[in-house]
Amino acid sequence: MDPRGDTVRDLGPRFDVRALTVADRIDVRGIDPRLSTHLPVTVAVGPVGCAMLFRSGAVVFFGVDTLAQERFLHDLSPRLFGRYETPEIETAMIRIGEADAVEPDAIILKTSTVERLQVVAEILAKSVVLARNEASIGAAFGAIEPLAIEMQKGPRRLPWKQRDLVRQIGHAMIVEHQLVDRAEVLEKPELLWDRADLDRLYARLEDEYEIRERHAVLESKLTLVSTAARTMLELTQTRRSLMVEWYIVLLIVFEILLTLYDKVL
């Protein structure tokens, strides 16, 4: 494979691609040798395959069998921060055809150049990062309605703990930070610059995997979870402040009663 765009001939006319989120973050600095000067970092794996690494914690394999994949990830361990026990996985089939296209059973590429594979990797990496965050925020989002119903049934009794609310706010902030900072879901990669053919391929894949639509939905859920948690936290703090005020009033009343009692005696 050549960084100038030579065809990846050894992969053949049909090969699989597998994207995984393996950690919160991958340190991609100083990895050599690389098969391309463009990001994502692209390295050879085994006799014919390659892997593309992303700061967001995603790794995309092309034409790599499961055993070689596990060996590669094991060797990559020192660069993985916040490694997941169970990675999110997305797979697809790539076929070489007459023109770039997306079909129900495969992604069609005109040629298997490194740059075209990098475009595919960009989309699949964003897709698995979105999928992981969708699952991660899903539990918190699903808990909002039951809490709202409990509030409606028993407004005097708050069915949550302050520690849990702070944890939910922190979790939403981490997810949003990852999407904006490391995953850069809505940002186009630099390899598309001055390459109209790659830009068109990227746009087709972005539509096929509904990247922008999923990102918008996820952002809406994050906003709702964060707003709901902050509102509940404010209610909890207001209730505690009110209780403290009542305690102070009771202490004052008790002190007055003691003073009156002493005077009567």
* Measured distance CA(58)–CA(88) in Å, rounded: 9
* Measured distance CA(95)–CA(196) in Å, rounded: 21
2 domain residue, yes or no: no
| Both structure tokens of 167 | 């944890």
pLDDT at 154 over 50: yes
With cut-offs at 50, 70 and 90, classify the pLDDT of residue 3.
Answer: very low
74 domain residue, yes or no: yes
121 domain residue, yes or no: no
122 domain residue, yes or no: no
Domains in the chain, number: 2
The pLDDT score that the predictor gives to residue 4 is: 39
The pLDDT score that the predictor gives to residue 229 is: 66
Q: What is the SS3 assignment for 242?
A: helix
What average pLDDT does this structure show over 30-40? 87
* Measured distance CA(206)–CA(119) in Å, rounded: 10
Looking at the structure, tell me whether residues 144 and 17 fall in a common domain.
no
SS3 letters across the chain: CCCCCCECHHHCCEEEEEEEEEEEEECCCCCCCCCCCCCCEEEEECCCEEEEECCCCEEEEECCCHHHHHHHHHHHHHHEEEEEEEEEEEEEEEEECCCCEEECCEEEECCCEHHHHHHHHHHHHHHHHHHHHHHHHHHHHHHHHHHHHHHHHCCCCCCCCHHHHHHHHHHHHHHHHHHHHHHCCCCCCHHHCCCHHHHHHHHHHHHHCCHHHHHHHHHHHHHHHHHHHHHHHHHHHHHHHHHHHHHHHHHHHHHHHHHHHHHHC
Residues 107, 91 contacting (CB under 8 angstroms): no
Looking at the structure, tell me whether residues 96 and 145 fall in a common domain.
no
Looking at the structure, tell me whether residues 250 and 139 fall in a common domain.
yes
Identify the residue whose tokens are 């006799």.
Answer: 47
1 domain residue, yes or no: no
With cut-offs at 50, 70 and 90, classify the pLDDT of residue 7.
Answer: very low
Instruction: Tell me the residue range of the domain where 197 lies.
Output: 128-264
Query: pLDDT tens-digit profile of 77-111?
Result: 999 998 998 999 999 999 999 999 999 899 999 98
The pLDDT score that the predictor gives to residue 144 is: 59
pLDDT at 197 over 50: yes
Looking at the structure, tell me whether residues 102 and 215 fall in a common domain.
no
* Measured distance CA(61)–CA(37) in Å, rounded: 18
Which of the pair, 190 or 165, is modelled with greater confidence? Answer: 190
